Amino acid sequence: MFFVSFQEITNMKNILNNLAQLQEIDTQLATIEAQKGNLPQQVKVLEQAGVEVEERLEAATVKLGSDEKELKSLASNSEEYKAKLAKYQDQLYLVTTNREYDALTNEIDTIKTKIQEIRDQHTSISDEVVLLKAEITTLTEKQSELTGTLTKSRKELTSKTDLTNTLQRELEGRREEIAGRLSKRYLRKYERILEVRSLAVVPVKRRACGGCHKQISDQLLYEIKQGNQFIECEGCGRILVYSKNDDESNSL
């Protein structure tokens, strides 16, 4: 042990205290930065969902239009064939030969088949129209729901961003102030560890490094608790500090 003056002891306590505060602020700033990424992402997801619903709605509406047109044309075709059928059926009474009768009956059968085909087509398209209308109703509801959520989310995003920016500026101001109290030597050391480990100052927890969990000897624990020395973890190189909150977990 070498002699350490009272002044130096107070000084080291201050340094460690400032470094711990700096770490707290940097952790908060990192959290803010991480959250910032999520918020616009949520709005983007909603916008994408809105575009998808709109596209599906448009496709369903176009299909409905063409189906309804098709139904009209089928109905008019059917009317034409029915008129023809009535005409041929009337002619049946006028035929004089078997050949004429057979030819006419063939015509009538063909027309009847055609009418049945049209009827089947009409039924299948009508079924599709029912489904399309239901889909359009569902999609329209979904669209209005999405629009509501999106408006709300955008508003939330704006106010959260404002709030986040204010908090961030405040934290950055405090960071600058604390960093200003530290000598360049300790600040650089702190920042180097932060860069590599993303956490530079860690408390001792359960008699181990709060960063890498390396066990700490009784002697070292005592020294860290005293707070008179700058102690780095032998395992990860992080700056070790003693937190009163973790006092219980460190007792024997």
Q: Summarize as ranges the residues that interact with Zn ion (CB under 5 A).
A: 209, 211-212, 214, 233, 235-236
How far apart are CB 232 and Zn ion at their closest, in Å?
8
The Cα 136–Cα 128 span in angstroms is 12
How far apart are CB 221 and Zn ion at their closest, in Å?
13
Residue placing its CB nearer to Zn ion in the complex, 178 or 233: 233
Residue placing its CB nearer to Zn ion in the complex, 179 or 200: 200
Tokens 């460190």 belong to 250
Question: Would you give the distance in Å from CA 2 to the centre of its chain?
Answer: 58
Residue placing its CB nearer to Zn ion in the complex, 200 or 209: 209
Residue placing its CB nearer to Zn ion in the complex, 20 or 179: 20
The Cα 117–Cα 77 span in angstroms is 11
SS3 40: helix
Q: What is the CA radius of gyration of the chain?
A: 41
How far apart are CB 13 and Zn ion at their closest, in Å?
21
Q: Kind of pairing, strands 208-209 and 239-241?
A: unpaired
Residue placing its CB nearer to Zn ion in the complex, 139 or 201: 201
Q: Calculate the dihedral angle through the C-alpha atoms of 205, 211, 213, 215, rounding to the nearest 10 degrees.
A: -70
How far apart are CB 239 and Zn ion at their closest, in Å?
10
Q: What angle do CA 147, 153, 157 make, to 5 degrees?
A: 145
**Sheet hosting strand 239-241, strand order edge to edge:** 208-209, 201-205, 239-241
- Which DSSP helix (H) or strand (E) runs through 222? helix 218-226
Q: Kind of pairing, strands 208-209 and 201-205?
A: antiparallel
How far apart are CB 197 and Zn ion at their closest, in Å?
9
How far apart are CB 238 and Zn ion at their closest, in Å?
5
Residue placing its CB nearer to Zn ion in the complex, 50 or 237: 237
